[in-house]
Amino acid sequence: MQIGKGIRALLANIDERSSEPTGQELKELAKDTLEIPVEAIEINPFQPRQDFDEDSLEELSQSIRVHGIIQPLTVRRMSEGSFQLITGERRLRAAKMAGLNSVPAYIRLANDQGMLEMAIVENIQRSDLNAMEMAFSLQRSIEECKLTHEQLSQRVGKQRSTITNILRLLKLPPQIQQALRKDEISMGHARAIAGLEEISSQLMVLGEIMMKDLSVRETEKLVSKYLESGKKSQVKKPTQKSDALNRKSAELNQIQQNLRSLIGTAVVLQYKENGTGQIQIPFKSDKELNDILDLLEGLDK
């Protein structure tokens, strides 16, 4: 089973800062838990998860108040009475919210690479990382742990093609990454958008998705139209006019980004060569519409 193989590979890398622990030491550390004061645990700097839903944390804290922490955290000893979290930050946060003074934890010996790999495996396999968090985590593992896509595939129990598709998300513009992080679009939408090379086209498709609530299948068809249109335009030789349009496109993209930052939604700026166009401001509820109107009215004051 791939997950088991990945965990065994991680355990093979675990070490104390200056010496290799024996197999017996690892077995003892893996099975024993201790109650550790929450104040003695510092957050794992290699934690891939960035977003913690407050409502979800509150629900977990309520459960912890009633049932306690069922699954122990995993920490490494830093010094006497001081520990660093390897996995379980969500449980630690919820335990603090529940007013617990101590938490059960496994104590392991791990170097920084082992910590990063264990954190990635634990989060990807057992938690709900969003696609962007997963992409950043995988990329960091490749860069800092010098892992190939194949090795990473074995460690996290995912196909190599899946790893490659997730990493492609890092090449998308920030606006699309943010929409994916906020669950405004799905992984399928983002994967379809990644098939386009031009940032302006990618952002136009994002705007269409947000405005028309397109499905993944509809998005794929829209992307195909953009690709077909791009092939036709490539037949024409580049001219000074086309160079000027490219510069204009970059300027318009910047304007569009500024509008999105100002209004806080996926604004779409459509511009034609004759100087005409339109600005589309999508919203998903009456509240969002009212917030946008209040903002626009405030700009006149």
Structural domain boundaries of the chain? Answer: 2-169, 172-299
What does the DSSP 8-state code read for residue 238? Answer: P
**Token pair of 160 as six digits:** 């190599």
pLDDT at 137: 77
Q: Which residues contact 189 (CB under 8 A, 6 or more apart)?
A: 180, 209, 214, 216, 219
- Give the C-alpha separation, 75 to 88, whole Å: 9
Cα gap 13→20, rounded to integer Å: 9
Q: Identify which of 178, 157, 156, 139 has the alpha carbon closest to the alpha carbon of residue 51.
A: 178
For position 13, what pLDDT does the model report? 44
Provide the whole-model pTM.
Answer: 0.47
**pLDDT at res. 40:** 94
Torsion sign (Cα): 188, 129, 116, 1? negative
131-145 and 160-168 are packed helices; what angle lies between their axes, rounded to 10 degrees? Answer: 110
- State pLDDT tens for residues 106-161: 887 766 666 666 766 666 665 567 888 888 878 877 776 777 888 888 887 788 88
User: How far is the C-alpha of 298 from the C-alpha of 98, rounded, in Å?
Assistant: 41
pLDDT of 173 = 87
Going by their DSSP bridges, the two strands 277-280 and 268-271 should be labelled as antiparallel
Residue (of 126, 128, 105, 124) closest to 116 by Cα position: 124
Residue 200 to residue 253: CA distance in whole angstroms: 7
User: What does the pLDDT read at residue 57?
Assistant: 87
- Buried b / exposed e over 203-237, threshold 16 CB at 10 Å, is bbbbbbbbeeebebeebbebbeebeeeeeeeeeee
DSSP string, 42-95: EPPTT-------HHHHHHHHHHHHHH--SS-EEEEEEETTEEEEEE-HHHHHHH
Per-residue confidence (pLDDT) for residue 133, from 0 to 100: 82
Q: Class assignment of domain 2-169?
A: alpha beta
CA 41 vs. chain centroid, Å, equals 25
Q: Which ranges of the chain have pLDDT less than 50?
A: 1-30, 235-238
pLDDT of residue 99: 93
Q: Catalytic annotation on 117?
A: no
pLDDT recorded at residue 95: 94
Residue of 16, 25, 42, 89 marked catalytic: 89
Separation of alpha carbons 160 and 67, rounded Å: 39
Contact between 90 and 57 under an 8 Å Cβ cutoff? The reply is yes
